[in-house]
Each structure stands twice: as structure tokens, then as C-alpha cells.
A = this chain, B = another copy of it.
Amino acid sequence: MSRRKFSLGVDFGTESGRALLVDIQTGEEVATAVYQYADGVIDRTLPDGKPLPPDWALQNPADYIETLRQAVPAVLESSGVKPEDVVGLGIDFTSCTMLPTDAAGTPLCLKSEWKGNPHAWVKLWKHHAAQPEADKINAIAQERGETWPQRYGGKYSSEWFFSKVWQILDEAPEVYAAADRLIEGADWLAWQLTGRETRNLTTAGYKAIYDKRAGFVSEKFLAALDPRLEHVVDEKMLRTISLLEERAGGLTEEMAKLTGLRAGTPVAVGQVDAHVSVPAAGVREPGKMLMIMGTSICHMLLGREQKPVEGMCGVVEDGILPGFYGYEAGQSGAGDILAWFVRTWVPYDLGGRDPHEELEAEARKLKPGETGLLALDWWNGNRSVLVDTHLSGLMLGATLDTTPPDIYRALIESIAFGTRVIIENFERYGIPVEELCACGGMPEKNTLLMQIFADVTGRSIKLALSAQTSALGAAMFGAVAAGKAGGGYDSIFDAIGRMAGVRDTVYTPHAQNHAIYGELFREYLQLHDHFGRGGNDVMKRLRVLKARQRGSRA
């Protein structure tokens, strides 16, 4: 038997970074370590105390380096794995999380002359202050009859690359001018690790209007946004895009010292957390939708053709797995709605017991429809298929005998209905969804929720074997970066065959419950369209009034 070989995945999340060491033959996860970012999400004040406007969300890139310094040696030490047995390293990141750097790759925010300027910092994916720029991008694209919005469900998001870039230019032209590079966190980190700047296809495709065939969006369009943006791709980005199975380079001496890995260890190009979860969950063909279920839900799906699916987040050729069109959609609220309920509402003194477990135990006793309630799951707006952050939650049907478990169940059902809208929308545009696969924090904990998802969607649901699919997916791409010659794999599909899998548990839909949820789903759709498609825009008007009244406080 040959000596065991390992790959390392490092997952850079919203609040923390995680290193995971995986046996590349068996997929066994031999060690993991987490580093909580010292500065976390910077959304109120900069580290120097300067207050931030509403809707801002930043990160400190020093936290990414610190993750490498702390978590990587930790997994080597706890596992006893030798650096020479680590064949490759992959990293995955939230996205679009981007930053301005100088020509050497040093983040502007780490330079004393810029650290007081909020625009010099990393703009985290959930930085929502670039809405005006996103609105203008959409309006100008429509005016000009651009076709690229079809690849993004019709709308470019305020979370994405050019919205954020343009906000920097609008509000801090001096930062824009000083930025030699504007770069995704994933690519910045691969650069730090290897000393070589690369740009990965996933973030370029889903966030920066890049297409394998068409290339980047045209300079004419960029100039129409702002003449100063005309040459931004050539001036501050990189026109050459790396495919997902490519190697960014070998680990530098400096980073080898910092991490304890050997210099020259192959490093994969930067990856995105949701997207690498697909191979990590063993999904390798069309028809199977992966749901990454946590605070929010990402829906990932492979297709054989490119279709203009209304309200999806995007479709990118080779963007998830080579040889397929990768579709992404999402729900902007899921676990965070249930967390809101528990945080805000739970009435009982639970004596330390977990309120989610208590509510689930009671909610499980109810039949579909027995709560008398129906909710719209828009506490955090709607990502797909309405793409409207100004929508809000609705709960209907309450009576004097309505209980907390009733409401908890109705919230779960509403989230499942939201996923069903997304599934049926894909199918309407010719992208079949036959089976569901789930990963992330929620499926682990909430078995009632999983059964309700199966009953509502009428589809069976498998669970990814790994509880940390992002880090595993990164490790799989790390093994592919090594290549077979380097002790790894030549293709991500080979890695899937060895390193990924699903559990024995399968949630299968209960026919009678599915029928009743069919009735309720029709009711959900009617409310969805009434409040989401212009029947009554009361939610938006209430948001405007709320902002006005909060703003008018002395």
C-alpha cells in the first residue's frame, strides 16, 4: 500500500477561516482548524474608530493571512501529517468580496496613507451600499440593449464587482486612482500564496460580467457608465482568466514558512465557497440541484445549454464544473429567519435547552396546513426569482390560538416554498431539476426542515457526506492543482469519485403531504406575485417610510 497523500483546503468565510486536511484517496477529513477573524465583519466603524454609513460591510485582509498562519500549522500538527505528504492546496472565498491593492498586491488598507479611507478596505460580499451604482448599471444596460444581463437573470446586483468598483470611483476617486489592481479576495489570496496574479473564471463569470466566449463586457459599455471606467479591465484587472482546474502556481518560500507547508506546493486558482460545494457534494451532472443551506440558501445547478432564466443569479459556462453551464440562484433569508424568530420571539424559559430543538419537536406534530398560517420568506428581501432587496416578510392567518411552533413551522414552509419557486422557474426555462442534494449548517440540525423541503418540492433530498463542503471542495481543487503527476488528480471528476459522497439518509416526499403543500403553494404563489410583482407595492413603500422616519430622528 502506498503512502497516504493529503490535500489542504482553506475556506475563507464571513466570520472565520477554516483549514481542512483531507486524505485524497478516501476523502477522509483528518483534521480541521478554525480561526475567528479578529476584526470580523466591519460594519459599524473602521478599526481606527471612524464610523461607517449604513449598508457597509468590510473585512480586514490581515485576517486572511492570520488564518493561514494559525489554522494551517494547526491541522498539520494535530494530524501529524508531514508537509511532503500534502500534494496541493486549494482556497475558497466568499464572493464578490473585493479589494484595491498596489502593483505589488499590498492591500491599500494596510498602507498607512490609505488605512483611514473606508474605500481602501475589503468590500465584503454583503456590502450593500453600491445600490445606486447597480441601479445605474441596469438602466444603462437596458438603454443600450446589452445582451449580457440575460446571463444574470435580467439584473446586475449591488453586491457584484462593477457596482463596488464604481462606488469606489464615485465616492473615493483618489482610492480608485491609487489602486493598481482591483481584485477578488480569492484571487488576491492565490497571488499572496504563489506570488503570481491570476483571475479565476467563477468570480469573473458570476460577478464581473465575463463570459468564456464573449470575454469581458465591452469597453463601450464601461465608458457609458463612466469614461474613467472605459479601460478598467486592462488597467486594474486581468484579461486572462484561469479555468477552475488550473494551478495558480507553487507556494512561495515566505508562505511556506508561514504555513509550515513545503515551498512549491501546488496551489489551485481561487475558488468560490458555494461553487466548490457542488463537486464536494458529489454532484457532477445536470438534474441534481445542490442547496447550500445556512443563513441563506444558494441553489447550484448544472445544465447542458445556456438559457436566459429570469431571476437567477447567473449562468457561467464552466463556472462550476468544466463542460457544463453552471446555474446559480438563491434565497437571501433562510436560517437567519428562523434565528430571528428564536432571538426575537421565543416565549418560554427553556432552562438552557435549545429553542430550535424545542420548536421543531412541537412543529413536527403538526400536519401540513394545520397551522392555518402562510408566510412569505422575505425577511431579508428576495434574491431569486424576484431579485428585490426591498421586499419584506409577511405572515398571514394568525388567530388567538396560534402558537410559536405554528409560526416556526410556517416559516420553515415558507422557505421551502421559496425554493420551489426557484426550482419551477428553472424548469419553466428548460433546465430540469430532478433531485435535490443539501449541504451546509441547516440540514445537519433541522431534520423537520429537510422533510418539509422534500414534501413541498416533491423531490427526494440527499445530504452531502461532508459537513464542511466548501473546505472539502477547495481541497479537491488543491488535489487537481497537483495533477496526477504530482500525486493528485488530473480532473475534478476524478477527485469527486474519490473524495466526495452523500450519506445514507435520504428524505423522500410524502405523497399526501405533497398534495396538500400543492394547495398551499398555489396560495403562496398568489401572495408572492401580488406583493412581489406590482399587485401591491406596500412593502417597498413601508421600507421608504421606515427609512424616512428613522432618518428624521433627532
Distance between A396 CB and nearest chain B CB, rounded to angstroms: 5
A346–B344 CB distance below 8 A:
no
Contacts of A549 in B (CB 8 A): 367-370, 516
A394, B393: Cβ atoms under 8 Å?
no
Determine whether the beta carbon of B369 is less than 8 Å from that of A402: no
Q: Which residues of chain A from 501 to 554 have any CB-CB distance to chain B below 8 Å in the complex?
A: 516, 519-520, 523, 526-527, 530-531, 536, 538-539, 541-543, 545-546, 548-550, 552-553
Candidates B369, B402, B527; contact of A344 at CB < 8 Å: B402
Copies of this chain present in the complex amount to 2
Q: Is A372 an interface position by the 8 A CB rule?
A: yes
Interface size class of A (residues with CB under 8 A): 35 or more
Tell yes or no: A48 within 8 A of B by CB: no
Interface-facing stretch out of A269-277, A333-341, A461-469 = A333-341
What are the interface flags for A337-379 relative to B under an 8 Å C-beta threshold, 1 for contact and 0 otherwise?
Answer: 1001001111101000000000000000001111111100001
A392, CB-defined interface residue at 8 Å: yes
For the complex, give the distance between the alpha carbons of A144 and B523 in Å: 37
Say whether A369 contacts B333, CB under 8 Å.
no
The residue on B at minimum CB distance from A406 is B344
B399 near A393 (CB under 8 angstroms)?
yes
In the bound complex, residues from chain B placing their C-beta under 8 Å from that of A346 are 347
| A80 CB–B CB distance under 8 Å | no
When distances are taken between beta carbons in the complex, the residues of chain B under 8 Å from A399 are: 379-380, 392-393
**Nearest CB on B from A260, distance (A):** 40
B-facing residues in A104-145 (Cβ within 8 Å): none
CB-CB < 8 A to A349: which residues of B? 349
Contact A400 B336 (CB under 8 A): yes
- A residues 387-407 near B (Cβ < 8 Å) are 392-400, 402-404
7 contacts between A and B (CB under 8 A): A379-B402, A393-B397, A516-B549, A519-B541, A523-B538, A523-B542, A530-B536
**Ordered nearest first, which 6 A-B pairs have the shortest CB separation?**
A393-B398, A372-B546, A369-B545, A370-B549, A367-B549, A369-B549
* A residues apposed to B, CB below 8 Å: 333, 336-337, 340, 343-347, 349, 367-374, 379-380, 392-400, 402-404, 516, 519-520, 523, 526-527, 530-531, 536, 538-539, 541-543, 545-546, 548-550, 552-553
A-B contacts besides A372-B546, A392-B397, A396-B538, 6 pairs, CB < 8 Å:
A333-B400, A340-B400, A369-B542, A370-B550, A392-B398, A396-B531
